[in-house]
Amino acid sequence: MSTPLDSIATVLEETGDYRVLRRLAPLEPLAVPPDEPTFIGLVVDTETTGTDFGRDEVIELGILKFEYGASGRIYRILDSFNQLHQPSRPIPPEITRLTGITDAEVAGRRIDDAAVAALARDAAVVIAHNASFDRQMCEGRWPVFADRNWACSCHQVPWRDEGHEGLKLGYLLIDHGYFHHGHRAIDDCHALLRLLSLPLRASGRLALACLLETARRPTVRLWAQGSPIETKDLLKARRYRWSGRRRCWYVDLDEERIEIERSFLSEQVFRRPLLDLPSDRITARDRFSARTNPEA
């Protein structure tokens, strides 16, 4: 944006009657070299023919490879990757309306699997804004993603505690005064990386630092195996979810809450001492994977 237009935008904002959105620009490298240990991260986004992991296919893959520090500072973008792929069946009209990707655009295109594997091989973490979706779409096609650590910028950053109402990438960018061309893979990657480089509204912590701290923390999936059917509303109110595959209610918890939850189940659900309930320890290596999907 030119200096005169910047000045106009500033004048409008200072009145308190206007909010101005600025077009998001790709993240610029930091002017100073790293003064801390650094690591390699990936921001990944997929566009797909639908949401059925067994049937639908990736039609566009976007990846930004970046260098970040132990503090959560993002130093520079190392590589950018964006390719289209022709699926085995026509792209549904609703997907074309959402993404703008047409059958003609993907005709004869194929994502370079070897290039994807090379990009991901040295990544300490892979980040997506809906990792439970993107990870399962990616690891079925590119095995390199199956043994990476994953983090979800949508659900592993406390956006609402930081003063945001919506969790969608576009909403979060608007709250920070930006807009971007969404629903294309590489554009969403640039938007997400920029968002992660910014300080959070309330705490002032870097968004990436907060995300990494949460992602590194193991969680426990506790199964309320054999719970009485009449307690289902009680379990739902406590944010338990139903696994159709295991025919059982479950909840994901931080490790320090496991004994509190066992006490709740013993006193209010089973109404008897519990000698043992099944539980699974989940880390970033498995979280959001098909391996830990209770419906898979």
Q: Which two tokens stand for residue 98?
A: 């959402």
pLDDT at 219: 96
CATH class of 26-216: alpha beta
DSSP character at residue 292: G
Tell me whether residue 211 is exposed, middle or buried, using C-beta atoms within 10 angstroms of its C-beta: 0 to 12, 13 to 18, 19 or more: buried
pLDDT at 264: 97
Q: Which of 154, 153, 149 is nearest to 286 (CA)?
A: 149
**Cα–chain center distance at 72:** 16
Q: What is the CA radius of gyration of the chain?
A: 22
Q: Which two tokens stand for residue 27?
A: 């993240």
Query: How confident is the chain (296 residues) per 10-residue block, as mean pLDDT?
Result: 80 91 92 95 97 94 98 98 97 95 98 97 97 95 96 98 95 93 88 97 97 97 96 97 94 95 97 93 96 79
Residue with tokens 């944006």: 1
pLDDT at 2: 60
Give the H or E element holding residue 281: strand 279-282
Using CA atoms, how far apart are residues 151 and 288, in angstroms rounded to an integer? 8
- What's the predicted TM-score (pTM) here? 0.92
pLDDT at 272: 95
